[in-house]
Amino acid sequence: MKVSLFVTCLVDLFKTNVGKATVELLEHLGCEVDFPESQICCGQPSYNSGYVEETKDAMKHMIKTFEHSEYVVAPSGSCAFMFKEYPHIFKDDPIWEPKARELADKTYELTQFIVEVLGVEDVGAKMEGKATYHTSCHMTRLLGVKEAPIKLLRNVKGLEFTPLPGAHLCCGFGGTFSVKMGPISEQMVDEKVSNVESTGADYLISADCGCLMNIGGRMERQGKPIRVMHIAEVLNHRG
């Protein structure tokens, strides 16, 4: 199966290992991975700040970039959801709406793709340790992917999986929210960190790098020994 990777700008620039793990994992599962090089950013930061018109060029650029793709897979629930938003944003544009819809329809978040399209629930990963999982808001509420990552994680050999208390609470990232509303974001991430700590986990896993940068960055600042990992890195771990 041919898969086009939408790696997301955070992964491209800051979390290269997540991108590498995503490619290796998909290849391990028999996919042929292609990386359309002209991809940039889905435009979410400026769109969510209210700059809709300014973002449309970026969105059109992404639509063109993935025009030829059969499947588009992103290691991020939030960025994958942004592609799903495109047809709504272009709803009054007869030329771009159908193109946007086509992109939205073939876009999947990584774990969603593995479970729903490839039909795989055990990727043969192995990793020792105790882990908890942070459900990102955009992935669970907006994209609607709740079960796939949990199913996959439960099948990772050696991994002791503990549910995270207060999992429904946002970690306080919210893109520009984290800097625009710094003092509020701080309280939110602190509550998240204390919930993570209460599980006694060695690893905090999530499918969104934004949340991981936020929670992980806070834990690092506080000197907490808990390691954050993207789910692609865990699923690509073979012991």
Partner 1 sequence: MSIKIGVGDFKERVHEELNNEFMRGAVRGAQERLRIKRLDEAEQLGNWEEWRSLGEEIRQHVLNHLDYYLYELSENVAKRGGHVFFARTSEEASQYVKEVVQKKKAKKVVKSKSMVTEEINLNSYLEEAGCEVIETDLGEYILQVDEDHPSHIVAPALHKNKNQIREVFKEKLHYSNTEKPEEITAFVRKHLRNEFLTADVGITGCNFAIAETGSITLVTNEGNADLVMSIPKTHIAVMGMERIVPTFEEMEVLVSLLCRSAVGHKLTSYVTAITGPREEGEADGPEEFHLVIVDNGRSDILGTEFQPVLQCIRCAACINVCPVYRHIGGHSYGSIYPGPIGAVLSPLLGGYEEYKELPYASSLCGACTEACPVKIPLHELLLKHRQVIVEREGKAPFSEKIMMKAFGLGASSDMLYGLGSRAAHSALKPFTKNARISKGPGPLKAWTKIREFPAPEKERFRDWFKNREGGKQS
Contact 199, 118 (CB under 8 A): no
Nearer to partner 1, 105 or 220 (CB): 220
Least CB distance to partner 1 at residue 189 (A): 7
Distance of CA 177 to the CA centre of its chain: 18
Query: Which tokens is 19 given?
Result: 């991108």
Tell me which residue of 75, 209, 214 sits closest to 148, measured CA to CA: 75
H or E segment to which residue 130 belongs: strand 126-134
CA-to-CA distance for 124 and 222, rounded, in angstroms? 34
Give the Cα-Cα-Cα angle 98, 100, 106 (nearest 5 degrees). 105
- Supply the minimum distance, in Å, between the C-beta of residue 38 and partner 1: 5
Within positions 114 to 143, which residues make up the interface with partner 1, using CB under 8 A?
Answer: 137-138, 141-142
Tell me: does residue 194 bind partner 1 (CB under 8 A).
Answer: no
| Residue 87 in contact with partner 1, rule: CB under 8 A | no
Residues 154-183 that bind partner 1 (CB under 8 A): 168-170, 172-175, 177-183
Binding segment (CB under 8 A) for partner 1, from list 29-37, 120-128, 152-160, 229-237: 29-37
Give phi and psi for 101, each to the nearest 5. -65, -40
Closer residue to partner 1, CB minimum distance, 26 or 159: 26
Q: Identify the three-state secondary structure at position 235.
A: helix
The DSSP element (H or E) to which 129 belongs, if any, is: strand 126-134
Binding partner 1 by CB under 8 A: which of 26, 43, 132, 233? 43
Residues of this chain that interact with partner 1 (CB under 8 A) are 7, 9, 11-16, 19-20, 23, 32-38, 40-41, 43, 45-55, 57-58, 60-61, 68, 137-138, 141-142, 168-170, 172-175, 177-189, 191, 213-214, 216-218, 220-221
